[in-house]
Structure 1
Amino acid sequence: MSSVFSFIGELKSFLILWFTQLLSTLGSSMTSFALVLWSYQDRGSALTTALLSVCSYAPYVLVSIFAGALSDRWNKKATMLCCDTFAALCTSTVLLLAASGQLHMWHLYLLNGLTGLMNTVQQPAADVAVTLLTPEKHYQRVSGLRSLSYSLNNMLAPALGTALYTLLGLEWVILFDLATFLLAFCSLLLFIPIPQGPKPERTESLLRSTQAGLRYLGENRGILDLILFLAAINLTASMFNAALPALALTRPWGGENVLGLVQSVSGVSMLGGSIAASLLPAPKSRVRVICNTLLLAMSTENFILALGRDLSLWCVGAALGWVGIPIMNANLDALFRSRIPVDIQGRVYAARNSFQFFTIPVGYLLGGFLVDQVFEPLAAALGPDSLWAALFGTGKGAGAAGLFLAMGFLGVATCLLFRRDKRIWALECQG
């Protein structure tokens, strides 16, 4: 018990920030999910609805590098407060438009783009704030707690957002979002002192400051190669997300309930992995943990979903595919925090966002294209007596199953290729 009290005492400010941001993020995710439901009911177009996410995500790829340079210059607490306030104003605008019956899709595209822009600045500031609030000996557990909040958000936001939207309407979902924002804002403003940390030279231009993050990655190839490893994994993972509905909804044993159950099992599995990441001691080799957990994910779920013809097998695949991801994230986060100097973390994290996440929209587009234009037509052309039919069955969804098998091999090959990268393993030898 004394160690627990000591842990709480040393991380009091972080724990307040973590819990209130968890609630605020849950509220924001519920609003995002409710807006997806509203937009689909309004337009009935999957593409129109998907553009909401595109507008929110595009700033990460386009301006993250510059946002990190600004984040390192500015006061972290003030940056977080201002960005969160701006995002709340955008959400309030949606509330007013919805209540007056004047809400249109172009409003949401514009407001999502502005909110995404603010998040691009806010995220690196928040990442550095966590470092400033956390003693190095607690990096592992803090990273596990952040993974836990991500898992809880993935589990609860769709269910709570749907329930509140169905029972009371979009306006009440947004009101809940604004209430959680107010709680997080007041907690950060009044109860969480964040050290400023070292600042870059004020005489340094914005362009030169931006280049510093890129230069750091160029000079520290182990960090850069690890980021590129995650970018390659994100390509496969986003193809997976794009193709999963085409597989789960069309198989003879599939349907909406099956898709929901598989995703729920993934969320529960991530929750278990997050708890494990919070409780496990720091490993001797973080690089080995990162490589092994990603290999586990890539070598299980894709193959089981492709070849399995039973819901219970799919659930096992979902559990195996996602249980190690929070552990991987916790060790990756701890490795970055311990290796990257705090005075440049914002710029490096922002550069990481651009390099690591640009493959996600590419993967979504590629996954959808391959299902619709390549694998489904191929499966239909080969016929019921082919080896393809013996492996994946016939009818709609057989092509998507073939794509999942191909993604399984792609994911495993990616893991084995980067596992041989000596520059990544050299990170274990750095002090």
Structure 2
Amino acid sequence: MTDQSMKPFTVLLIGQAISLFGSSLTGFALGIWAYEQIGSVTVYTVIALANIVPVVLLSPLAGAVADRYNRKMIVILSQIAAIAITGALASLYWWQLLVPWHIIALVTLNSVFNAFVLPTISATIPLMVSKSNLTKANGMIALAFGLIELATPAIAGTLYANGGMQTLFLVDLATFSVGIGAVIITRIPQPQAKTAAASATDTQELSLLASIGEGYRYLMKAPALLGLVGFFSSIAAMLIAAGVMVQPMLLGFAKPDQMGQIMSFAGSGIIAGAAIMIALTNINRHMPIVIGVSGLVGVGLLLLPATTTPWMIAAGGFIVMACFPVIDSNNRSIYQRKVDPAILGRVIGLRNFVLGLAQCFMLLIIGPLADAVFEPAMAADGWLAPTLGPYYGTGQGRGIAVLISLLGALMLVSVALTLCSRRMRRLDSELDDVEIAVEETEPEQQTAMDAVAMAK
């Protein structure tokens, strides 16, 4: 493949990013609207979980579907379903019938369809770009997600304040049309089945459940990849827990406007890290980068919370946030280089399932740990105050700071354990790159065939 092969991927990414941006705006504003209606943080949290949990639980099934059916059709059907769900929400709002449980139910349904898009597109990337551009492509994805995450709160809040939910719904529907248009005009290739497992799936001799099992057995035969699933899941879980606790930690010594400035500057590190990945090509050894940069993040989380100097927190946060796209892009590239594209959807689905469970588990325990254990322990008369007080200080937010440092220490332990594994250290050379082969079937014909199969 030449650099020309990046163009179809770029068109697809831009279209999906615009569509996702519209959905993010609506989702953010719906949370505000629901909170204003009943003033319940619980409902706000349930809406957030409704957006996450189906993706986590359905990831293995979604990966099997991505490997079994035409990938272009999967994305198109998911986009059509999302348009219908947004239309239903808009209609209920227009007729003043919308209540929070409608939002929870429809957001959950939308998340079900979104679950099938993520592994489908991830599994298709190695068919659309050359190996030398894999980290570049994954860096572009990280850049798009980073921009959406940074821009959504401010833009959604402004649109909601000035135009209400109807404006957000219109924007969402418009962005959906861009997303589905990009999919329609882009050729999304199908992999050729080369492995026995993939061949059985493509001939539909296996049930979807059995197809998921094939993905599991594929990972079991590659212990280094299985170890990578566990390693990255632990790193991502600790990062999301630290991210949730940063805001209350900062409020312990900074005013709200100062906290916002610190978080905005630190968050912009995502853009810097993604830009680095886009600029780099021909990266052949990904694992040393994943391990080394994860270690750097661990050191940052261990040391930074001890300070209450705003500029140091902001600068350190920028570096930590810049590291995540680097870790994520190289992690994705390993799977895309080492796993047969015909079974890649299932492998990614299982990876996302383990990753999601780890993150959900961490989010469930981190709040109680902070509130019931570490914050009281770092109060002026707390049991940890005599030992850690001279380094962290005492009072509001200092227990959270200690807990974030503990997460950094655990991350360094995970890095050390990974370094102790020869297979993990040498994963790039231990596993051969797969040979990419694209199905010759015309996309229009294959789409029609798979539409009939999926309907059955």
Aligned to 2:364: 365
8 Å Cα contact 1:241-1:364 kept in structure 2: no
Distance 1:220 1:384 in 2: 44
Task: Tell me the percent identity.
Answer: 25
Aligned to 1:311: 310
Distance 1:174 1:255, change over 3 A: farther
Q: Which moved more, 1:213-222 or 1:414-423?
A: 414-423
- Of 205, 208, 221, 2:207 maps to 205
Q: Deviations over 1:128-180 (max 9, x none)?
A: 23222222232121111111111111111112111111111122112111101
1:8-157 matches, cutoff 5 A: 9-157=4-152
> Secondary structure in 1 aligned to 2:205?
coil
8 Å Cα contact 1:57-1:116 kept in structure 2: yes
2:247 counterpart letter in structure 1: P
The answer to whether structure 1 residue 427 and structure 2 residue 422 are counterparts is no
* TM score, norm. by length of structure 2: 0.88
* TM score, norm. by length of structure 1: 0.93
8 Å Cα contact 1:24-1:184 kept in structure 2: yes
8 Å Cα contact 2:377-2:384 kept in structure 1: no
Aligned to 1:416: 416
- Of 150, 163, 166, 1:168 maps to 163
> Secondary structure in 2 aligned to 1:118?
helix
8 Å Cα contact 2:8-2:187 kept in structure 1: yes
Aligned to 1:183: 178
Task: Compute the displacement of 1:242 (Å).
Answer: 2.9
Aligned to 2:189: 195
1:330 counterpart letter in structure 2: S
Distance 2:210 2:135 in 1: 33
8 Å Cα contact 1:303-1:404 kept in structure 2: no
Task: Compute the displacement of 1:219 (Å).
Answer: 0.7
Consecutive unaligned residues in structure 2, runs of 5 or more: 194-201, 433-456
1:254-333 matches, cutoff 5 A: 254-304=254-304, 306-333=305-332
CA RMSD, aligned part only?
1.9
Distance 2:124 2:383 in 1: 58
2:187 counterpart letter in structure 1: P
Task: Compute the displacement of 1:47 (Å).
Answer: 2.5
Distance 2:384 2:68 in 1: 63
> Secondary structure in 1 aligned to 2:426?
helix
- Of 209, 227, 230, 1:225 maps to 227
Q: Which moved more, 1:400-409 or 1:347-356?
A: 400-409
Distance 2:259 2:31 in 1: 17
Aligned to 1:159: 154
Distance 2:59 2:407 in 1: 29
Task: Compute the displacement of 1:82 (Å).
Answer: 0.2
**Paired residue total:** 422
8 Å Cα contact 1:234-1:357 kept in structure 2: no
Task: Compute the displacement of 1:49 (Å).
Answer: 0.8
Distance 1:384 1:359, change over 3 A: closer
Distance 1:95 1:295, change over 3 A: same
> Secondary structure in 2 aligned to 1:382?
coil
2:413 counterpart letter in structure 1: A
> Secondary structure in 2 aligned to 1:323?
helix
> Secondary structure in 2 aligned to 1:386?
helix
Aligned to 1:244: 246
8 Å Cα contact 1:238-1:367 kept in structure 2: no
Consecutive unaligned residues in structure 1, runs of 5 or more: none
> Secondary structure in 2 aligned to 1:188?
helix
Q: Which moved more, 1:368-377 or 1:96-105?
A: 96-105
1:150 counterpart letter in structure 2: F
Task: Compute the displacement of 1:226 (Å).
Answer: 0.6
The answer to whether structure 1 residue 214 and structure 2 residue 216 are counterparts is yes
8 Å Cα contact 2:126-2:337 kept in structure 1: no
Distance 1:243 1:68 in 2: 32
Runs of 4+ residues deviating >4 angstroms: none
Q: Which moved more, 1:344-353 or 1:191-200?
A: 191-200
Q: Deviations over 1:175-198 (max 9, x none)?
A: 111101101112211x21112223
Task: Compute the displacement of 1:383 (Å).
Answer: 7.8
